[in-house]
Amino acid sequence: MSRWSALPSLAQSALIALLAFAAGTALYATTLYALAPVSTEAPVTIRLALLAAICGTAVFRRDRPVLAIWLATVPLGIDFALGPTLPIWLVFSDLVYAVALYGTARQSRTVVGVAAAGTMGCLVLVLALTRSWQPLVIGTIAAFAFVGTPLWWGRAVRLHKDVADSERARAEALTTIAELDRQAAIADERNRMARDLHDVVAGHLSAIAIQSEAALGITGAESDERLRRILKSVRGNSIDALEEMRSMIGLLRTDVVDEAAAPGRLRQLAKLVDSAHAAGTEVAVHDDLAPGQLPTAVDHTAYRIAQEALTNAIKHAPGRPVELTLRSQSGQLLMTVCNPLPPRGFPSDPPRLRTGLTNMRERTELLGGRFSAGPDTDGWRVAVSIPLDGPAAGG
């Protein structure tokens, strides 16, 4: 079957035509080929010539089915005039089937109407010539057998092929969509990893760099005590960074994503405050949230935004007090981080600040929230509003 499918359509049609000619020749060698009695029998050579002619048109049954059936009407008409024979009509019925199956959709529909009109015309002609009901009944049965049945069968096979092609196209479209979804999911996960790595590692390393610089600049009698406190904070930030990285790597390696095990929740906010205090920045926290009030995703996002906002404040406005407010109102988590601007203001769109603001905005918008950051009357203000019951908030 695979070898047959590999053949060109023209070669397949030629082989079918040869097979039909061989079968028709075998029928003509017997006396079982006449479909109606005739007074004078035509020579077999004429019958074979007509069979060869109609089989020759069958070579185009697949590539040009309409042309083939129009050419076949010539030997068919001559055979009908000499007395219809079975081989000629079997080949013609195959051509009718080919038009219904391989023709265009319009040709397939048109051949039904043409066949119906032609059949009716022939039956009326038979009735007018014979004035008898018996030839009419025989003609009706022959029309159903050699025209109606191939039309019905060809249309049915065509319908099944169209349905199969449609399902195949749908499956290919679904496969394409699934692949695009997979690529989008990978891209989203990469962006999420990039944000987490930026917030976790960059935040802790920034704190370590600032605290180390403060330690190098300490002089005076209190230098030993302050130095110990700063170095203790440096060590704590280093350990926190390692723990966060190990936790993230563990989440990436496991097949089951447990959001509750994700690093960084607001209950760890005290560590951020202590780290800022060690760097010389006082942080006032106003937390009006009830314990366990926040969904996991909102809790984790709020922590990361608070971490990034505090890191920016410590780095770009060192020594300036920071005020962090957390409260719930109308089904929204409201968080603000405010700090006075440094004497010279922020540098013009620093890359580090731009990356941090982009990460905070993306985290907020992923949960359907609103984010704003910029100069305010009292300094620099970061404001976040995240719905507590949004579809992406989780439980």
Average pLDDT over residues 91-116: 85
Comparing 158 with 241, which gets the higher pLDDT? Answer: 158
Cα 24 versus chain centre, distance: 53
Residues in Cβ contact with 373 at an 8 Å cutoff, skipping those fewer than 6 apart: 357, 360, 361, 380, 381, 382, 383
Residue with tokens 């009908």: 80
pLDDT band of residue 2 (cuts 50, 70, 90) is: low
What DSSP assignment string belongs to 237-290?
HHHHHHHHHHHHHHHHH-SS--GGGSS--GGGHHHHHHHHHHTT--EEEEE-PP
pLDDT band of residue 212 (cuts 50, 70, 90) is: low
pLDDT of residue 203: 62
Q: At residue 329, what are phi and psi to the nearest 5 degrees? A: -150, 125
pTM over the 0.85 mark: no
Average pLDDT over residues 236-258: 62
The answer, yes or no, to whether residue 261 has pLDDT greater than 60, is no
Comparing 226 with 330, which gets the higher pLDDT? Answer: 330
Phi-psi region of 244 (alpha: psi -120 to 50; beta: other; left: phi over 0): alpha
Query: What average pLDDT is seen over the chain?
Result: 79
pLDDT band of residue 166 (cuts 50, 70, 90) is: confident
Domain boundaries, the chain: 2-175, 282-395
Comparing 41 with 63, which gets the higher pLDDT? Answer: 63
Distance CA 151, CA 103 (A): 12
The answer, yes or no, to whether residue 257 has pLDDT greater than 50, is no
Q: Which of 115-119, 199-203, 248-252 has the highest mean pLDDT?
A: 115-119
pLDDT of residue 170: 84
pLDDT band of residue 260 (cuts 50, 70, 90) is: very low
The answer, yes or no, to whether residue 319 has pLDDT greater than 80, is yes
Q: What is the CATH number of domain 282-395?
A: 3.30.565.10
Average pLDDT over residues 328-335: 91
The model's pLDDT over 269-296, given as tens digits with 9 standing for 90+, comes to: 888 888 888 778 899 999 988 877 788 8
From 251, 246, 286, select the one nearest 266 (Cα to Cα): 286
